[in-house]
Amino acid sequence: MNVAKVGAGVLALLFTLGVGAESVPQDGKKPMASSTVDGGVKSVKGYNTSVQSPVAEDGEFLRRVMFDLVGYPPNLDQVKAFMADTSPNKRAAKIDELVASDDWADLWERQFSEVWFGNYHEVVMDTMPKVGKEASARIVADFRKWFKGQLAGDKPWNEIVAKMLDARGTDEGDPAMAYKLSFYFGDGQAMEFANGTARHLLGVRILCARCHDHPFDAWKVEDYYGLAAFNVRQRARGYGSGGEKDSVAHIELKYVDEGEMQIEKSPDANDKDNKVKLASGGTAKPKFLYGGEAGPKDDRARVLTLLMTGKANTQLPRALANRVWGYLFGRGIVHPVDDFNKRNQALSPSLLESLTKELISNKYSLKHLIRVICNSDAYQRSCESDKSAMKIDFSRGPIKQLTGEQLINAIQVATQGKPSRNTKTTMDMVSSLFPAGAVWCEVTPLPGNARQALLLRNNTEIGNWISSGGVLGRIKGMQGAADEDKINEMFLAALSRPASDSEIKRYWGFVRQYPSAWEDAYWTLLNTAEFVTRH
């Protein structure tokens, strides 16, 4: 691209490009529960149906749902085919197609794995002796393969969680064990297990109760240590050479019949002037946060599994429904999604409870939950509106930062017609965008900083993808097509929507003045906020 030669024109296009597409409602069939979702959304305080955005046009919907469910946008042919399809059920059919695909299972396994492990490419298992790096990577990879299979087969969420919590034996025999091994760090596996499982599976933060009763929630010191007590009798035995000094290749987990969780006494425990009860020491009983405890001779891991995954514990499906909503809308009904507490109320309690009940009544099916949400009008509303928004109420389509993988996939789809889905390429290209010390991987939302803009505007590899990727060459080579038609194809290929009349006029004036600058014109589309966000 010769940016210097046509810089003024390029920048004018870059900074004046608008959204401009008109929204057209659809009448496709949807699950009955999707209407319940729409009713629940309208119960959000301050929701006003008179200012809600209309249902998005086909291209906006298709781009959104593919980003959310498989991690990349549609290519030019997919956009045109979807727009040309006159079936009233095409949106529901597309959602079903995506959720049934291997790409869906692959993406959603990694999204949840980021919750469980952080950067799942580098998981520390600080057992004694320590699991080697190569062994840790293999153990996590085995877990991810197993977890992906569970999602692909639509296994009930409570059954998946049960296998993760009750994993035992060896990593060679039980790949689900990687979840419990990941808590061997920091303050010790029992303490980290309490912190992690509460946030990951129940959406609650109980770390505050390690030293004192929670100042504005129900959790007490005994609750924190009581959850840790379920795992205090877990024992890890390493075997086999891990390829590094004093490291092991494999781990065996088992449970013994002795050992109690001791509450760490606060130095100021006897200070009567404290406004909250401080930890005063003693032995913690294995008590579950939402009721139930293990007896003296019980297998504590199995008791916790039953208490966590049984139907009496509605917080497990409630937390899942809220997290999935957060993935799809960019904000949980309770937000942050792992911070349910008395002060942090749901935007719509009825919406959250209806999703929870729907999940339970449909055998904890994650796929069903996603179908219900994605088929709702709330999910499919346009992000465009001429009304100002003072707060999030789900009355319009939310705009979200892309993850590193989604951004690179989007560029490759727009330039080459398909994503390479190469994790190493993605990690290498976006690594400089995250601040030092941040824990991230390819499915972590990008920070959306100036460095991201510079990556798109200055990266030579992206420039090469535009000039030699094939998509733009195909558009430029359209036989008998007017420049206006080629411009429209560029918009469909990059933004999944047709160009407005004003955009066609502006771009036509640009390429007419600089006939050799099609690459520069296309480059401006890939640098717009519309392209680099999920909307």
DSSP structure string for 196-222 = HHIIIII----GGGGTB--SSSS--HH
Q: What is the pLDDT of residue 26?
A: 38
Angle between helical axes of 58-70 and 102-117 (0-180°, round to 10) = 60
Residue 57 · residue 23 · CB < 8 Å: yes
Helix axes 501-513, 518-526, angle to 10 degrees: 140
Q: In this predicted structure, what is the pLDDT of residue 391?
A: 81
Q: H or E element: which one contains 249? A: strand 247-255
Which range is least confidently modeled, 67-81, 283-297, 385-399, 445-459? 385-399
Confidence of residue 10 (pLDDT cuts 50, 70, 90): low
Are residues 383 and 67 in contact, defined by beta-carbon separation less than 8 angstroms?
Answer: no
Question: How far is it, in rounded angstroms, from Cα 46 to Cα 391?
Answer: 9
Residue 3 pLDDT exceeds 50: no
By the 8 A CB rule, do 176 and 165 touch?
A: no
As a whole number, the mean pLDDT across the chain is 92
Q: How many whole angstroms separate alpha carbon 394 and alpha carbon 331?
A: 9
Q: How far apart are CA 402 and CA 408, in angstroms?
A: 9
Neighbour-count burial for 246-267, b at 16+ CB within 10 Å, e otherwise: ebbbbbbbebeeeeebebeebe
State the average pLDDT over residues 504-517: 93
Residues 177 and 301 in one domain: yes
Mean pLDDT of 205-221: 92
**Are residues 139 and 239 part of one domain?**
yes
Is residue 150 domain-shared with residue 297, that is, in the same domain? yes
79: pLDDT strictly greater than 90: yes
Residue 292 — φ and ψ, nearest 5°? 105, 150
102 occurs within a structural domain: no
Q: Which residue has the higher pLDDT, 290 or 12?
A: 290
Length of the chain: 535
Task: Tell me what pLDDT residue 12 has.
Answer: 55
Average pLDDT of the residues in 206-216: 91
- The conformation of residue 283, written as its DSSP 8-state character, comes to E
The pLDDT of 476-480, averaged and rounded, is 94
Contacts of 516 (CB under 8 A, 6+ apart): 2
pLDDT of 380 reads 97
Q: Which residue type is seen at 244?
A: E
pLDDT of residue 46: 87
Per the structure, the complete domain to which residue 417 belongs is given by: 7-21+401-534
Residues above pLDDT 90, as percent of the chain: 86
Give the residue from 284, 309, 334 where a domain finishes.
Answer: 309
Output b/e per residue, 229-240; b: 16+ Cβ within 10 A. bbbbbbebebee
User: Model confidence at 16, in pLDDT bands (50, 70, 90)?
Assistant: low
Q: What is the pLDDT of residue 33?
A: 95
**Residue at which a domain ends, from 255, 289, 309:** 309
| Contact predicate 126/184, CB 8 Å | yes
Three-class SS state of 255: strand
The pLDDT of residue 6? 45
Report the pLDDT value the prediction gives residue 390, as an integer from 0 to 100. 66
Has residue 328 been placed in a domain?
no
Cβ density class 143-163: b for 16+ within 10 Å, e for less = bbebbbebbbebbbbbebbbb
Residue 366 included in any domain: no
Same structural domain for residues 156 and 287?
Answer: yes
pLDDT of 512 strictly over 60: yes
Other C-beta atoms lying within 10 Å of the C-beta of residue 520: 22
- Type and span of the H or E element at 248: strand 247-255
Question: Nearest Cα to 199, choosing from 229, 219, 178?
Answer: 219
Range of lowest pLDDT (15-19, 79-83, 243-247): 15-19
Asked whether the predicted pLDDT for residue 8 surpasses 70, the reply is: no
How far is it, in rounded angstroms, from Cα 104 to Cα 464?
Answer: 29
**pLDDT over 70 for what percent of the chain?**
94
What radius of gyration, in Å, describes the C-alpha atoms of the chain? Answer: 26
Are the beta carbons of 347 and 45 closer than 8 angstroms? Answer: yes
Residues 407-411: contacts with CB under 8 Å, at least 24 apart: 407/446, 407/452, 407/532, 409/71, 409/72, 409/73, 410/67, 410/72, 410/73, 410/531, 410/532, 411/456, 411/462, 411/465, 411/526
Contact 438, 446 (CB under 8 A): no
Residue showing tokens 């049960």: 162
Are 139 and 285 in a shared domain? yes
Output 83 or 215, whichever has higher pLDDT. 83
Indicate whether 356 belongs to any domain.
no
Q: Is the pLDDT of residue 266 over 80?
A: yes
Q: C-alpha angle 427/428/430, rounded to 5°?
A: 65
CB 58 within 8 A of CB 80: no
Q: How confident is the model at residue 20 (pLDDT cuts 50, 70, 90)?
A: very low
**Which tens digits make up the pLDDT trace of 87-142?**
999 999 999 999 999 999 999 999 999 999 999 999 999 999 999 999 999 999 99
Is 58 domain-assigned?
A: no
DSSP 508-528: HHHHHHSTT-HHHHHHHHHTS
Per-residue confidence at 273, pLDDT binned at 50, 70, 90?
A: confident
Alpha-carbon distance of 101 to 328, in angstroms, equals 18
The per-residue pLDDT for 18 is: 44
pLDDT in tens, 335-367: 999 999 999 999 999 999 999 999 999 999 999
Helix ranges (H only) for 375-480 are 377-380, 404-416, 423-430, 450-458, 460-468, 471-476
Question: pTM of the entire structure?
Answer: 0.94
Is 279 found in the same domain as 154?
Answer: yes
The alpha carbon dihedral of 382, 385, 387, 390 has a sign of positive
- Of 265, 293, 309, the residue that ends a domain is 309
CB 205 within 8 A of CB 341: yes
For residue 535, which of 437, 396, 387 has the smallest C-alpha distance?
Answer: 396
Tell the residue number behind the tokens 């009349």, with chain if given: 501
Count: domains in the chain: 2
The answer on 302 and 407 residing in a single domain is: no
| Residue 319 is assigned to a structural domain of this protein | no
Q: Say whether both 129 and 269 belong to one domain.
A: yes
pLDDT, greater one: 4 or 137: 137
Based on the domain organization, do 158 and 12 belong to the same domain? no
Please indicate, yes or no, whether residues 162 and 284 belong to a single structural domain of this protein. Answer: yes
Domain membership flag for residue 113:
no
**Rounded to whole angstroms, how far apart are CA atoms 405 and 430?**
9
Same domain, 154 and 285: yes
**pLDDT for 9:** 56
Least confident of 12-16, 401-405, 421-425, 493-497: 12-16
Question: ω before 129 within 30° of 0 (cis)?
Answer: yes
Average pLDDT in the 69-79 region? 98
241-251 mean pLDDT: 92
In a domain, 72, yes or no: no
